[in-house]
A and B are shown apart, each in its own frame.
Chain A
Amino acid sequence: MRLEPIKNPSLARKIVPPVIALAATIVIASLLAMVAGANPFSVFGLILNGAFGSKFAILETLNRATPLIFTGLAVAVAFRAKFWNIGAEAQLYAGALMAVLLGTGVLPWPSVAILPVIVVAAVLAGALLLLVPAILKTRFGVDEVVTTLLFNFIFLLFISMLLEGPLKDPMGMGWPKSARLIPEARLPRIVEGLRLHWGFALAVIAAIGIWILQTRSTLGYEMRAVGLNRDAAAFAGIPVNTVLVKTALLSGGLAALAGFSEVAGLKGSLTLDLSPGFGYTGIIVAMLALLNPLAVVVAALFVAGIFVGADSMSRAADVPTYLADIMLATALLLMVLAIMLTRFRVVRD
């Protein structure tokens, strides 16, 4: 078999493969639920209800989506330029670390300045963390996939070292946990009384900002050109390495905001289990959104809904929560295939 590009894909061509991919994902998840001895209809009912069935559930889903929007944007920005940042997890913790370093009462500044300073510091920390793999790539030709992946392990150990050493909360009863942020360093709630903080609004604003950058600015154009064809971009006079470094700085900064918003908006302190893999899940979010920053928001809500829903489904139906991870990995693989099939036809030799 071989693949043949389709000149003018019909509407059905554009819609049918993704729909089949989604349906197949649901079928596979249903079979797995049946293996666990559960009724697939009730499993999906429980997931939906747990994700969107009540005011509490919806707020929980929005909260869970917040870090995923940031890491999803970080991945979308990087992958668009074919810079494979798999290190959003480490950059997330870099942002969280800044929130704790600056937000626990060490700054002698007026309280209105504290949050903006922390945001800038978090973005810089994440950007700098990704700058190292970016420079290793552009200067030494070291593949960024492996370096960013390995950085995740190194940085988490670094955080663990700090939490058991200088950052350890003396009031934490021996747990490796940082001191709590002072109230001025916390992100306030959007509406008083509702458990949803400004981190979510910030994430949506970031998505719109990235969309404008990608569609309306020279840098956005250059990033796309570098991603489409590095050699052609270089030939057209685009400074490829500079664009890659800028992409990395932007991507690392966005991922760091996820950690900042989790600490400042939700948790109030830093622990080693701050992120249950938000950095890696960001890859799924970005791919499901086809790397479109606005679609990242929708994809993050979808992915967060599945996770939140699966948590409550698991308690009720006795099906392991890992069903959610399987569903998302399956959706990722099938969706990448489906998107390709909207543009290519499989021809038999």
Chain B
Amino acid sequence: MEIIEILFTASFWAAAIRIASPLIFATLGELICERAGVLNLGIEGIMVAGAFAGWMAVYSGTGLWTGVCVAMIVGMLFGLLHSTLTVPFGLSQHVVGLGVTLLATSSTYYAYRLALPEVTSPPKIDAFQPFEIPILSDIPLLGPALFSQTPLTYLAFVLVAVVAVVLYRTPLGLAVRAAGENPAAVAAQGLSVTAIRMGAVMAGSGLMAVGGAFLTMSAFDSFFFEMVNGRGWICIALVVFGSWRPGKALLGAVLFAAFDALQIRVQQTSLGTLIPYQIFLMMPYILSILALILMSRRAEVPAALMVPFNKGER
């Protein structure tokens, strides 16, 4: 019954929200890309690049928020590369996405080795610190979990609302969704499908990079290889799980993170010592696959996802 007890500790929910934060950024980013009709498999590499770029900027002496902006710009540049190849040129989104992941990852590692040739343990930065929101953080259980987080976590939650409002309540959001559902109709309105899709991929890639930067600037305070460790692929599963809706994606990310936080704690209980730790580490990936199976029937996939749009064709 140790597990039940864990569920009622504030530190557990605080950890769940912390683990969810990078996933929220990156899932929102992927969601924007896919809503516009582009699958972005560059996500894993873009998160690596963002994690390094933000951290490196701060390590070189910029402020933390400048570091976040640097990460976002690096992400948008990879988004520009991805969308140039997949949107106007209509190349395979699978191949280009994987290529972008390979390129972003390897160039990040190359840059790291050049910048820090002789380090054995990666240097640390002064990362974002938790900011307790007055009054709200005093609420039992909920307060420490939701209102004693770092500013980047608050930003992640605010962004969910912003993305939802933009997608469903503005002409821009309508154009993005239409580009993913019926691009011919968008073109008939005199709008450029190419511009909308490229813009969406760049914006989404920027968010993915910020998700990566959360790892090096908020969750931890240094950069190491393999730190993204499949989180990008998990976010792609979370987009499906959330039926391409920001609110549901947030719910999915938090549920997923809660499970991840739980498995870390169960490992330390008497039950956990009986089971090999690898089983616990597998859980997030297995959970993602189960979520995909569960939701795939119900999911409302954007109709033009992965369908290139070429004005010449009718």
Chain A residues with CB under 8 Å of chain B are 1-4, 32, 35-36, 84, 86, 136, 140-143, 145-147, 149-151, 153-154, 157-158, 160-161, 164-165, 280, 283-284, 287, 320, 322-323, 325-326, 328-330, 332-333, 336-337, 340, 347, 349
Does B122 belong to the interface (CB within 8 Å)? no
Determine if B98 and A86 form an interchain contact, defined as CB atoms under 8 angstroms apart: yes
CA distance A143 to B30 in the complex (A): 15
Q: Rank and list the top 4 A-B pairs by shortest CB-CB distance, nearest first.
A: A325-B106, A329-B103, A320-B113, A329-B102
Determine if A142 and B233 form an interchain contact, defined as CB atoms under 8 angstroms apart: no
Determine if A147 and B289 form an interchain contact, defined as CB atoms under 8 angstroms apart: yes
Determine if B292 and A146 form an interchain contact, defined as CB atoms under 8 angstroms apart: yes
Determine if B288 and A336 form an interchain contact, defined as CB atoms under 8 angstroms apart: no
A150-B288, A161-B279 as given contacts; A35 in contact with B114, CB under 8 Å: yes
> Cβ of A347: which chain B residues have Cβ within 8 Å of it?
312
Number of interface residues of B (CB under 8 A): 47
Chain B residues with CB under 8 Å of chain A are 41, 81, 85, 88-92, 94-96, 98-100, 102-103, 105-107, 109-110, 113-114, 194, 229-230, 233-234, 236-237, 240, 276, 278-279, 281-282, 285-286, 288-289, 292-293, 296-297, 310-312
Determine if A157 and B282 form an interchain contact, defined as CB atoms under 8 angstroms apart: yes
> Cβ of A287: which chain B residues have Cβ within 8 Å of it?
95
Determine if A136 and B293 form an interchain contact, defined as CB atoms under 8 angstroms apart: yes
Known: A3-B312, A329-B99. 16 other contacts (CB 8 A): A1-B88, A4-B312, A84-B94, A136-B293, A140-B297, A142-B293, A150-B234, A150-B237, A150-B288, A153-B285, A158-B278, A161-B278, A322-B106, A332-B99, A333-B99, A347-B312
CA distance A1 to B236 in the complex (A): 30
Determine if B282 and A154 form an interchain contact, defined as CB atoms under 8 angstroms apart: yes
Determine if B102 and A332 form an interchain contact, defined as CB atoms under 8 angstroms apart: yes
> Cβ of B106: which chain A residues have Cβ within 8 Å of it?
322, 325-326, 329
Determine if A164 and B288 form an interchain contact, defined as CB atoms under 8 angstroms apart: no
- Per a CB cutoff under 8 Å, which of A2, A140, A332 touches B310? A2
Determine if B96 and A322 form an interchain contact, defined as CB atoms under 8 angstroms apart: no
Determine if B236 and A146 form an interchain contact, defined as CB atoms under 8 angstroms apart: yes
B contact face: mostly helix, strand, loop, or mixed = helix
Determine if A150 and B285 form an interchain contact, defined as CB atoms under 8 angstroms apart: yes
Determine if A325 and B102 form an interchain contact, defined as CB atoms under 8 angstroms apart: yes
> Cβ of A149: which chain B residues have Cβ within 8 Å of it?
230, 233
CA distance A68 to B85 in the complex (A): 26
CA distance A36 to B296 in the complex (A): 47
Closest residue to A347 on the B side, CB-wise?
A: B312
Sample (12) of A-B pairs whose CB atoms are under 8 Å apart: A1-B194, A3-B90, A146-B236, A150-B237, A150-B285, A154-B285, A164-B276, A165-B276, A283-B98, A329-B102, A336-B95, A336-B96
CA distance A149 to B289 in the complex (A): 10
> Cβ of B297: which chain A residues have Cβ within 8 Å of it?
140-141
> Cβ of B229: which chain A residues have Cβ within 8 Å of it?
153
CA distance A143 to B41 in the complex (A): 13
Q: Report the minimal beta-carbon distance from A348 to chain B, rounded to whole angstroms.
A: 11
Determine if B92 and A336 form an interchain contact, defined as CB atoms under 8 angstroms apart: yes
Please indicate which of the listed interface residues A154, A161, A164 has the most CB atoms of chain B within 10 Å of its own CB: A154
A32-B110, A340-B89 as given contacts; A330 in contact with B103, CB under 8 Å: yes
Determine if B296 and A142 form an interchain contact, defined as CB atoms under 8 angstroms apart: yes
Q: Report the minimal beta-carbon distance from A17 to chain B, rounded to whole angstroms.
A: 12
Determine if B310 and A3 form an interchain contact, defined as CB atoms under 8 angstroms apart: yes
Closest residue to B230 on the A side, CB-wise?
A: A153
A143-B240, A146-B292, A150-B237 as given contacts; A349 in contact with B311, CB under 8 Å: yes
- Per a CB cutoff under 8 Å, which of A2, A284, A329, A337 touches B311? A2
A141-B297, A320-B114 as given contacts; A337 in contact with B91, CB under 8 Å: yes
Determine if A160 and B278 form an interchain contact, defined as CB atoms under 8 angstroms apart: yes
A146-B292, A165-B276, A323-B110 as given contacts; A157 in contact with B88, CB under 8 Å: no
A150-B288, A325-B102 as given contacts; A333 in contact with B96, CB under 8 Å: yes
A161-B276, A165-B276 as given contacts; A326 in contact with B103, CB under 8 Å: yes
> Cβ of A1: which chain B residues have Cβ within 8 Å of it?
88, 194
CA distance A322 to B109 in the complex (A): 7
> Cβ of B109: which chain A residues have Cβ within 8 Å of it?
320, 322, 325
Q: Report the minimal beta-carbon distance from A112 to chain B, rounded to whole angstroms.
A: 37
> Cβ of A325: which chain B residues have Cβ within 8 Å of it?
102, 105-106, 109-110
Closest residue to A159 on the B side, CB-wise?
A: B278
Q: Report the minimal beta-carbon distance from A127 to chain B, rounded to whole angstroms.
A: 19
CA distance A160 to B90 in the complex (A): 40
> Cβ of B311: which chain A residues have Cβ within 8 Å of it?
2, 349
Closest residue to A314 on the B side, CB-wise?
A: B113
Determine if A336 and B230 form an interchain contact, defined as CB atoms under 8 angstroms apart: no
CA distance A150 to B311 in the complex (A): 36
Determine if A158 and B114 form an interchain contact, defined as CB atoms under 8 angstroms apart: no
Closest residue to A149 on the B side, CB-wise?
A: B233
CA distance A71 to B233 in the complex (A): 21
> Cβ of A161: which chain B residues have Cβ within 8 Å of it?
276, 278-279
A3-B312, A36-B114, A160-B278 as given contacts; A140 in contact with B289, CB under 8 Å: no
